[in-house]
Amino acid sequence: MSALANNYKRKNLSFARGKGSFLFTSDGKKYLDFVQGIAVNSFGHANQHLVKAINNQSKKLWHTSNAFIIPEGEKLAKRLVKRTFADSVIFQNSGAEATETSIKVARRYFYSIGKKHKNTILCIKNSFHGRTLAAIHASGSKKMTEGFGPKIPGFSHFKFGDHEKLKKLITKNTAAIMIETVMGEGGIKTIPIWCLKEIRKLCTKKGILLILDEVQCGIGRSGKFFAFEYANVKPDIVPIAKGIGGGFPLGAVLMTKKIAKAMIPGTHGSTFGGNPLAMSVGNAVLDQINNKLLNNVRKTSKYFISELNILKNKYPKLIKEVRGMGLLIGLQLFTDQTYFINKLMDNKLLTIKAAENVIRILPPLNVKKNEINLALKIIDKVCKNLNK
């Protein structure tokens, strides 16, 4: 009997070590890991540059309070600002903290300009913004909020693609629209480029903020630094986490100058957020997110998706759709995907579920072509056996 609470349905499988795209059990079994901690380990397991960064920093300084200047954090924030739409950064430790801080920042901005009534956040129904109380109510998912009442006010929901409803929901009390650029847990559903552009225009016209949750699709995962760059739009606030830590817990909120002005001393804080250890790892992740890597993500993605589409055509009764962008890929089946995922696992390929019968496939960003080919071979084999 485990002493851990039973809030996860875990597979009966554990690992002793990892190297790049692979995980190894204590008895030496080798698995191709296309989960990577759910889009967290941007460069796979035991990436040398990250190992070095954390080793070096761990010998110098782990943690100091945000009451003092943390040079590694100053550096990481400057680099994030230099690379993106943002002028200012607040560091956190996780995705949910980053999305929740984004909500706080949006509301505080309107408060600071004398419009405290503007505090409602519009979100997509059954989206995913994390598991804290506000974040589950932002997600508007019955499954996630059930039993965790009372309902937290200040959120309204529209269905994915329901533009009329979205427009109708905007009132004088609306502060922001908060959406994932690519819905990860929701089944790898991408907000179309034209739609992002329209939403940006709508926000500007109505004087509300656009929060793009890039916790899962950000930091190179989409093939661009941020997925919204494909649409050439500029958000106001962007929460990030997962990939920026490369496996170390790290989250952040990126924002424009106008909004950052509202975050005066005392408005927000975090004991651990922005600690030297996390900041050193974040810097070492950014060192490796260069144009060469992003080109490779796009190239690998194109190949992988086209090969998956060949499998879709080969097994039209099993695979309904190949979805996603970059190395955030979804294989939508016609039926429940759990059995399929377990079969892939039996064949030493690790993938993970998302909503709408989707199998999520998340290789590290530096995945090699022969590893993609190995995954394709395993998927083909499992399809063939199921197709009998």
Ligand X SMILES: *Cc1c(COP(=O)(O)O)cnc(C)c1O
Point out which residues bind ligand X (CB under 6 A): 94-96, 99, 128-130, 180, 184-185, 213, 215-216, 241-242
Min separation Cβ 327 and ligand X, Å? 14
Which residue's CB is nearer to ligand X, number 364 or number 383? Answer: 364
Pairing of strands 174-180, 209-213: parallel
DSSP H or E run through 319? strand 319-325
**Among candidate residues 187, 217, 189, 212, the one with its CA nearest the CA of residue 199:** 212
Separation CA 137–CA 224 (nearest Å): 30
87 is catalytic: no
Neighbours of 153 (CB within 10 A): 9
Supply the DSSP symbol for 236: S
Which residue's CB is nearer to ligand X, number 80 or number 253? Answer: 253
27 is catalytic: no
213 is catalytic: yes
Which residue's CB is nearer to ligand X, number 148 or number 334? Answer: 148
Separation CA 219–CA 294 (nearest Å): 10
Q: Which of 213, 228, 236, 340 is catalytic?
A: 213
Q: CB-hemisphere CA count at 13 Å for 240?
A: 28
DSSP H or E run through 83? helix 71-83
Angle, to 10 degrees, between the axis of helix 338-346 and the axis of helix 369-387?
A: 120
DSSP H or E run through 252? strand 251-255
Which residue's CB is nearer to ligand X, number 213 or number 356? Answer: 213
Which residue's CB is nearer to ligand X, number 148 or number 339? Answer: 148
What residues form DSSP beta bridges with 330?
Answer: 323, 360
Min separation Cβ 203 and ligand X, Å? 19
Q: Which residue is nearest to ligand X (CB)?
A: 95
Separation CA 380–CA 388 (nearest Å): 13
Q: Which of 158, 242, 248, 340 is catalytic?
A: 242
First vs last C-alpha separation in the chain: 38
Min separation Cβ 114 and ligand X, Å? 31
Min separation Cβ 135 and ligand X, Å? 7
Which residue's CB is nearer to ligand X, number 328 or number 378? Answer: 328
Which residue's CB is nearer to ligand X, number 95 or number 363? Answer: 95
Pairing of strands 328-333, 358-361: antiparallel
Measured CA distances, 172 to 208, 212, 286 (Å):
10, 21, 40
Measured CA distances, 258 to 28, 175, 240 (Å):
54, 14, 19
Min separation Cβ 93 and ligand X, Å? 8
Min separation Cβ 29 and ligand X, Å? 28
Min separation Cβ 335 and ligand X, Å? 25
As to burial, measured by CB atoms within 10 angstroms (0-12 exposed, 13-18 middle, 19+ buried), residue 251 is: buried
Q: Which of 110, 128, 225, 248 is catalytic?
A: 128
Give the active site residues.
Answer: 128, 213, 242
